[in-house]
Amino acid sequence: MTGPVHTTALDADGNRQLAYAEYGDADGTPVLFLHGTPGSRVLGELLHGDARERGVRLLAPDRPGYGGSDPWPQRSVDDAGAYLTALLDDAGAGSAGVIGFSGGGAHALALAATNPERVESVDVIAGTTPPSVTEETPTPQRVLSGLANTTPTLLRGLFRGQAWLAGRLDPSFVLAQYTDDPESVPAETQETVRSDFLEAFKNSRSGAVTEFRNTAAPWDVPFDAVDADVRFWHGEADTNVPIAGARRLSERLPTAAFNALDGADHLGTLLRAAPEALAAQTE
């Protein structure tokens, strides 16, 4: 299922556009869904059925530099409020819940910190963590962040090559980045994850380069300004983002609750936690 795609201007001159898709119940409770790094609005397809069943109007943007959204190379993590409030305005939503997966978790928390009046509650699913709470960054993320800071042109070329291969090889080529057991993932889910990856790099590699640079640097997010309820969902077998850092991040948020998922890897955490997060957003 491909949701209807909209675009909205992010500046007064209309020179920068943000694309977003809608899933679930068009008349339901508005909830933002923020994809991973890299990623796109297409990942929202995985939540469509559960969102419709629970009466959620799921708004899934391409963050700047991904998919159909124009690049914004100089943005920082706390700039999330600028483009996400523009989306909410365009969608006619005064406020919304927020679900952030993986790299999207940072932007979910940033929106809650900088625009608390627009956020009902937050679910962070397998979310990335700032350096201040991360004891050891997994090697792939450390290498990508290093390239983003030192040789971004090389990293853009790497992503271009990965996208070329992803469009020609079995979906397991992409799935292997998110799960240790691609064969156990339903075929339809595999295709959605691959489509999400391809859409992320369709027009630009800027979004991923920007975010790998930003998340490895100190986050400029005032966590003490978050007053919405925050629910963390994290797999104990997640090797992309080790659970220890997520626990420490949750401890810095007085309104946070932490849910550990036994045996879940990175993608498995999303598939298991998303239905519960959607249910929590409508309680």
Task: Domain ranges for the chain, please list them.
Answer: 5-281
Model confidence at 229: pLDDT above 80: yes
The pTM score is: 0.95
Q: Which pair of structure tokens corresponds to residue 3?
A: 């949701």
The pLDDT tens digits of the residues spanning 233-276 come to 999 999 999 999 999 999 999 999 999 999 999 999 999 999 99
68: amino acid identity, one letter: G
Mean pLDDT of the chain: 94
175-228: pLDDT as tens digits:
999 999 999 999 999 999 999 999 999 999 999 999 999 988 999 899 999 999
How much is the average pLDDT of 51-61?
97
Q: Specify the pLDDT at position 3.
A: 64
- For every residue of 146-177, DSSP letters joined together read HHHHH-HHHHHHHHHHHHHHHTTS-THHHHTT
The matching CATH number, chosen from 3.30.2270.10, 3.10.180.10, 3.40.190.10, 3.40.50.1820, for 5-281 is 3.40.50.1820
For residue 129, the Cα-to-chain-centroid distance in whole angstroms is 13
Predicted local confidence at residue 1, as pLDDT? 54
- Given this model, what pLDDT does residue 62 score? 96
Percent of the chain with pLDDT over 70: 98
- Report the 3 state secondary structure along 198-261: HHHCCCCCHHHHHHHHHHCCCCCCCHHHCCCEEEEEEECCCCCCCHHHHHHHHHCCCCEEEEEE
Higher pLDDT, 5 or 250: 250
